[in-house]
Amino acid sequence: MSPVTLAVVGAGNRGSAHGRWALAQPDRARVVAVAEPRAVRRDRFASSHDIPAGASFASWQELAAKGRLADAVMICTQDAAHAEPAVAFAELGYHVLLEKPMATNEADCRRIVEAVERAGVTFAVCHVLRYTPYTALVKRVLDEGRIGEVMSVQHLEPVGYAHHAHSYVRGAWRRQGAAAFMLLAKSCHDLDWLRYVVGRPIRRVASFGGLSHFRPENRPDGAADRCLDCAVEPACPYSAVRFYSRFLDRGVDWEGDHWPLDAVMDRYTEADLRAALRDGPYGRCVYASDNNVVDHQVVAMEFDGGPTGTFVMTAFSAGGHRRTRLFGTRGELEGDGETVRVHDFLTGTAEVLSAGTPGNATAGGGHGGGDWGLMDAFVRAVATGDRSHVLTGPRESLEAHLAVFAAERARREGVVATVAMDVASPQEDTAAGR
Ligand SMILES: NC(=O)c1ccc[n+]([C@@H]2O[C@H](COP(=O)([O-])OP(=O)(O)OC[C@H]3O[C@@H](n4cnc5c(N)ncnc54)[C@H](O)[C@@H]3O)[C@@H](O)[C@H]2O)c1
């Protein structure tokens, strides 16, 4: 079978990560075209993949204007720039791998689903957590009935103090409007994952949370607008100098992931880092940025048929994998992203199972094996025409996104929100050819 051909739209962190999977699997996939406005990124990417000048474009619009150049496209632009290319490339007949979130509003998410269904193409949203060995283990334990019927769930996304400061106070996801709101940007993964493991749609949600800490009034005495000028920087856990220097000191492996440095600068030298911290958004005091997304949020949810759950997202954590407790009628499952502890009510015993999770929870760590699991599934689905390899069909992805929009509405308006119920069940999803 000849390799699946891929076009990459947005050769930033995610586009490069997906591209690296193809480089490691040359017999299964080949990237043959790229669209990226930033010349440094475009040229670096084109050179790693041997993409000729004629297949290297400065925007997705220029790539789309050429008609269909590849079997599939991987859309890795920023959140607010997903819907237009997703619809355009689906209409051209490309199979579509779309970074999450699908789009920043409900209407655009629905427009994407309509477009991919109309075109009859394979479509996958990068809900990478579904594809980790750890999730496969959790699913297996649940499917074997080892804890009976799931009745309650507790799920935590410990974003991590430094990751939060990087992405959601200083970085690209700091402002709703420019990007998605926090729950959509970071935690659409979590609501999707909960829907997947519990095996039921989320029907009703309530939510609380806000931007409590990263605000001007919490700025310590003596703090400057930039970490480089700050007298109290050594005592600040959110120091940009300390955070980025730690990564720079480790050295940059050109074949590897460059998160978080790739967002900060194009060349990884001490001088470039200082220049970026001096002039760019990543050198700003976390109490003097223009961020407006929440730094902690909780969602209480009711699943179809009655099970209930809570989800906590917080900046104020050491980071690491998500942690979950699933409470069933015959037992309890406790998972930390690497191991699963199963307590059996009948025998009174507990068993610890290990998933052999590769990599850590961050983008740099490949999301615990999810990044490569996702690419493997998508390319397999495109190569064989068997869409069941993709674990998130368009309608199930839409359903999870609708739960996120409802939860955010609940938080903002102080109401209990009902998730729209007009989305087909997963069975219908499969039958409709996801
Ligand atoms: N699945 C996950 O776990 C995961 C993790 C991190 C980020 N993401 C999502 O992936 C997406 C990309 O994130 P990222 O960190 O790679 O961002 P990034 O900023 O590193 O990359 C986006 C790239 O798109 C390029 N771009 C802008 N306009 C373009 C156009 N018209 N045509 C082509 N390219 C264009 C930018 O120049 C940039 O290089 C975001 O939506 C983000 O939320 C998903």
Distance CA 177, CA 87 (A): 21
Strand order across the beta sheet in which 29-35 lies: 56-57, 29-35, 4-9, 72-75, 95-98, 123-125
Q: Residue 258 contacts by C-beta under 8 Å, 6 or more apart in sequence? A: 13, 16, 252, 268, 364
359 forms bridges with which residues in the sheet?
A: none
Q: How far is CA 196 from the centre of its chain?
A: 15
- Taking only the tens place, the pLDDT of each residue in 258-275 is 899 999 999 999 999 999
Nearest to 150 by CA among 326, 303, 301, 342: 326
The more confident residue out of 357 and 279 is: 279
Atom of ligand 1 nearest to the CA of 185: 43
Q: What is the dihedral of CA 366, 367, 369, 370, to 10 degrees?
A: -110
428 forms bridges with which residues in the sheet?
A: none
Pocket test for ligand 1, best of 43, 78, 184, 262 (most atoms within 8 A of CB): 78
Atom of ligand 1 nearest to the CA of 363: 5
| Mean pLDDT (whole number) for 100-125 | 97
34 forms bridges with which residues in the sheet?
A: 8, 56
Per the structure block, which two tokens stand in for 361? Answer: 């929870």
Distance CA 173, CA 163 (A): 11
Predicted local confidence at residue 44, as pLDDT: 94
| Ligand 1 centroid, distance to 406 Cα (angstroms) | 25
Strand, helix or coil for residue 353? strand
| Mean pLDDT (whole number) for 311-316 | 98
Residues near ligand 1 (Cβ within 6 A): 9-14, 35-38, 41, 59-60, 76-79, 81, 99-100, 126, 128, 172, 185, 363, 367
Pocket test for ligand 1, best of 77, 257, 397 (most atoms within 8 A of CB): 77
Predicted local confidence at residue 427, as pLDDT: 39
pLDDT-wise least confident of 159-163, 256-260, 297-301, 338-342: 256-260
192 forms bridges with which residues in the sheet?
A: none
> Binning pLDDT at 50, 70 and 90, where does residue 420 land?
confident
Residue 407 corresponds to which amino acid? A
Nearest C-alpha to atom 7 of ligand 1 is from which residue? 14
Predicted local confidence at residue 3, as pLDDT: 97
End-to-end Cα, the chain, rounded Å: 22
Nearest to 85 by CA among 93, 19, 36, 77: 77
- Taking only the tens place, the pLDDT of each residue in 356-402 is 877 777 776 777 789 999 999 999 999 999 999 999 889 999 999 99
Atom of ligand 1 nearest to the CA of 59: 32
Predicted local confidence at residue 254, as pLDDT: 62
| Ligand 1 centroid, distance to 58 Cα (angstroms) | 14
Residue with tokens 């099970």: 307
| Ligand 1 centroid, distance to 120 Cα (angstroms) | 25
Query: Is the pLDDT assigned to residue 430 strictly greater than 50?
Result: no
Query: Is the pLDDT assigned to residue 432 strictly greater than 70?
Result: no
